[in-house]
Structure 1
Amino acid sequence: MPVPTTAADREEVVVTGMSVTTAFGRGAEVLRDALAAGRPAFAEITRFDAGRRRSRHAAHLPGSPVLGDELASVVDGAVAQAGMAADLAAGTPLLFARHADAEWARRPLSEQGGHHHAASGSALAAATGLRGCPRTYTNACVAASTAIADAAALIAAGREERVVVAGGYLVDPDVHALFDAGRALATDGALRSFSAGRKGLLIGDGVAAVVLESASAAGRRGARPLTRLLGWGRAGDAYHVCQPHPEGLGMARAITAALGRAGRAPEQVDYVNAHGTGTPYNDSAETAAVHLAFGEHAPKVPVSSTKSLTGHTLEASGIVELAVSMLVLQDGRLPVNAGYLGEDPACRLDLVLGEARPLRPRTVLSLNAAFGGANTALVLEAI
C-alpha cells in the first residue's frame, strides 16, 4: 500500500470505540458523572498496608482487581462499541501500554522468560481476539499517549485501517513506596494541580481502551465515529532524568507539532486537559510550555488537570485522559481543577475552578509528560 506524502493524502483518524475504568468505577458513564460532580476519588489506601508511608492516600477501586482481567474487559468494551465483529477484530492489531510488573523480577529466572511485558501484550491480544500485539509501551507517563500517536500514524499513512490501543495501571505497593521514598507524593490527601501549596502527586487506578480507525474504513462499514483525532506531537527536552525543562521547551514543541499536524491555530483550542501532576517542577514547566506554544492566547484557554480527580494513572494516563477529553467534547462541561488553594505566580492560567464549567468545546488538547523529558500532545475534535 503506498504511503501518503502530503497532508491531503493522509487518512483521517477517528475514534469508534472507547471503554474506561478509574477509581470512580467501571464504564464511561461512571466517569462522566464523576467529572460533572468534581469530587476527587482519593481515600486512605486499603489495598495494601501503607501505614509506614509518609503518604497514605490514593485513588483506587475496592478490593484487589487483576490488571489482565480489567484490560480484557475494556478492550472487549471498546471493540463492542465500535461494532467490530470477530473477523474484523481478528485482523486488528493491539498497541499496549502498561507499568512494569515488579512481581516478574521476583520470580525464578527459569520462569521470567514467559512473563515479560511483550508476553502480556500478546496474551491480551489473544484473550480479546485481536491479531496480535506488535508493540508494548512502558515509557512511563507517556506510554499510552505514545501508543495512541503511533496507532494514529499507522492509520494516517494507510498501513492499518484500524488499531486497538489499551493501557492500564492499578495502584500497587511497589510504586507507592518508590514515589513515597522520593517524596513525590502529597501528604495532605489531595493532588492540587497548578495550585499554591501543592504537595505532590497521588497515584490512581486507570484502565482504558480505544479503537482508532480511518474515517473511510469506518464509513465503509457504517460505524459511527465518536471523536476525530486530528493531530499528535512528541518531543523531548533531555534536560534532566526527573525534572522537565523549566521553560517547557519539549512540551511546547510537542504542542506546536500536534497543532501543526491538526491544521489548527492556538486560538482554535477550546480546552487543555493538562498533565498537571501537582508537583512544583511539572506544573510550572507545563505552564511555561502553554505560554510558549500559545502566545497571547495562553491566558484565554481554559485549563484543568483531571489527575486532581482520578489520581495519576502513570502509563495509562494518556489513554484515560483521552477518554476524559472525549467526554468533555460530548458533554459540554469542562472538568474542575480540584484541590486548588490559591494562585501560584508560576502557574498563571485560566484554570477551571470551583466546579465544572459549562462550555461546548470544538477542539481539545490533551498533554502528557514523563521522566527523562518525554512530552506528548493529542488534538481531538468533536464530530
Structure 2
Amino acid sequence: MNSSAPPAGGPVFTGLGVLSAFGAGLAPLAEATAAGTGTGFAEVTRFDTARRGTRRAALLAGPPPPLADAVLGAVADACTQAELTDGAPLLLALHSDQHTRGTAAKVAAGAAALGLAGVARVYTGACVAAATAVADAAALVGSGRHPRVVVAAGHLVEPGVFAAFDAGRALARDGVLRPFSAGRGGTLLGDAAAAVVVEAADAAAGRGARPLARLAGWGRSGDAYHVCRPRPDGSGVARAVRSALARAGVAPAEVGYVNANGTGSPMSDLAEARALREVFGDALAELPVSSSKSVHGHALEASALLELAVTIGALGSGRLPVNAGWLGPDPEVELNLVLPGPRPGARPRYALSLNSAFGGANTALLVGAA
C-alpha cells in the first residue's frame, strides 16, 4: 500500500462529459440517481432476448451510435467544459473483444481532431478499468509528467456480453437491480460513455479553470482469491479504501458518502459491506451508502467513470444517489443505505467511489468537494 501524500493541492477534475440511459450530460443522470423515482431499466429491443433469463437493461433511447462516436462525444464535452486547448494525452478504457483495436483507433483519430495528443494507453481490466486509468492519470499529473490528462471510457450493451452474463446467472432474473437488499439476485447491464479531465491544481489555477471536484486519493488492490467470486471477508476492498484514505491524509470519519460497487450480487455485496465495516467500524452506522448502479445499470469497463461522474455531481449538489430496488434489510449487510423518500440534505467534504472486478481487482477513488 502506497501511503505517500500527494503534492499540495493534488489533482482536480476540470471537465466532465457523460452519456447514459438518461441522455447526454451530468444533469439528467444526477437528477435520476438522486430522485429515486425511476430507473433507466427497460425491456431490451436492441437485440433478441427471447432465450434469455433476463430481458432488461439500461439503454440509450433509439439506435445506439458507434461506440467510438459515443466516447468521442463525451471527450468533446469534457474538453469543452474544461476549456482545454492543448494536446493532453488520452487514457481509454474499453471492453476487450474483437472490436477493441478498431474502436481504439477510431477514438485516437477523433481525439487528434479535437486537439488531444492521441490515445496513450488502452485499459481492458474489466470493471475497474476506468478507475485504474483515473489513478494513472492522477499519478501522471502528480509527478509533473503532464499538466493534465483526459480519461475516457465506454460500453454499449451488446448481445454477446449480455448472453455471457445471462448464462453465468449474473443478471437479476426479476429484472431489478437491488444492491444490498434482501432478495437481491444479480446485476443488470447499462450503456455508458464518460470522460473526465484530470488536471494539476496549480495548472488549473494558472489558466483560470474552475475545478468541479478534487481527486484527493486513490487506492488499488488485488485479492487473487477466485476468478469471479469476491474474497468473502472483503479484505481486498478494505485495502484499496485504506490506501486511498492514507494517500489523501483523510481519516475515515471525514468521509461523508460512499458510492459502493454494489452490483446486486448476494456474495459481492456482502463482501463489500464487510470491507466497509472493517474500515469504518461503528461509524458505518451513520455513513450514507448507496450503489448508483441500481439506477443506471452496470456499464462494465465504463462503470467506474460513470459512477465517478455521479459522485462528483453528488458532492456538488449535496443530493446523494438513491439505493433503488430496495425490498428490505439483509441482516448480514447492516449499512446506512440512502433509500427513496424525504431525507436531510447532505454536504459531504469527501466521498468514496468503489469498484471491483472479476479476478479480485479493487479500486477506491476518494473525491473531495471543490
Deviation at 1:129, TM superposition (A): 2.4
Contact 1:36/1:356 (8 A) holds in 2? no
1:193–1:162 Cα change, 3 Å:
same
Q: Secondary structure at the match of 2:208?
A: coil
Residue 233 of structure 1 is matched in structure 2 by 219
Alignment of 1:41-60 (within 5 A): 41-60=40-59
Query: What amino acid sits opposite 1:36 in the alignment?
Result: A
Structure 1 residue 353 displacement after superposition: 1.1
Secondary structure of the residue that 1:334 maps to in structure 2?
A: coil
Say whether the 8 Å CA contact 2:68–2:107 is kept in structure 1: no
Structure 2 partner of 1:112: none
Residue 11 (structure 1) shift: 5.7
User: 1:190 & 1:215 partners in 2: Cα distance?
Assistant: 41
Q: In structure 1, give the amino acid aligned to 2:255.
A: V
Q: C-alpha separation between the residues in 1 aligned to 2:103 and 2:9?
A: 31
Deviations along 1:302-353, one digit per CA (max 9) or x if unpaired, are: 1000000000010001110110001101111111100011111221100011
Unaligned runs of 5+ in 2: none
Segments of 5+ residues of structure 1 without an aligned counterpart are 105-114
Which segment drifts farther, 158-167 or 57-66? 57-66
Q: Distance in 1 between matches of 2:181 and 2:297?
A: 16
2:29 to 28, 31, 42: 31
Structure 1 residues 283 and 158: CA distance shift in structure 2, 3 A: same
Q: For the Cα contact (< 8 Å) 1:191–1:308, is it kept in 2? A: yes
CA RMSD between the two structures: 1.6
* TM-score, scaled relative to structure 2: 0.95
Whichever residue aligns with residue 52 of structure 1, its letter is: R
- Conserved 8 A contact 2:5-2:248: no
Taking a change above 3 Å as real, the CA distance of residues 258 and 124 of structure 1, as seen in their structure-2 partners, is: farther
From 7, 13, 16, give the equivalent of 1:15. Answer: 13
1:205-261 CA deviation, whole Å, 9 max, x = no partner? 111000010010011111111101000000011000001100001100000000001
Partner of 1:98: 94
Residue in 2 aligned with 1:110?
Answer: none
Residue of structure 2 equivalent to 1:264: 250
Q: Partner residue of 1:370?
A: 357
Q: Provide TM-score, normalisation by structure 1.
A: 0.92
The answer to whether the 8 A contact 1:121-1:136 is kept is no
Give yes or no for contact 1:332–1:360 (8 Å, CA) kept in 2. yes
Which stretches of structure 1, 4 residues or more, deviate above 3 A after TM superposition? 5-11, 101-104, 115-121
CA distance in 2, matches of 1:187, 1:345: 22
Map 1:162-241 → 2, pairs under 5 A: 162-241=148-227
1:346 — aligned with what? Answer: 332
Tell me if structure 2 keeps the 8 A contact 1:186–1:199: yes
* 1:43-75 per-position Cα deviation (integer Å, ceiling 9, x unaligned): 100111111100000000122222111111110
Alpha-carbon distance between aligned partners in 2 of 1:352 and 1:63, rounded to the nearest angstrom: 31
| Residue 346 (structure 2) aligned to one of 359, 363, 373 | 359
1:379 aligns with 2:366: yes
Kept after mapping to 1: 8 A contact 2:4/2:247: no
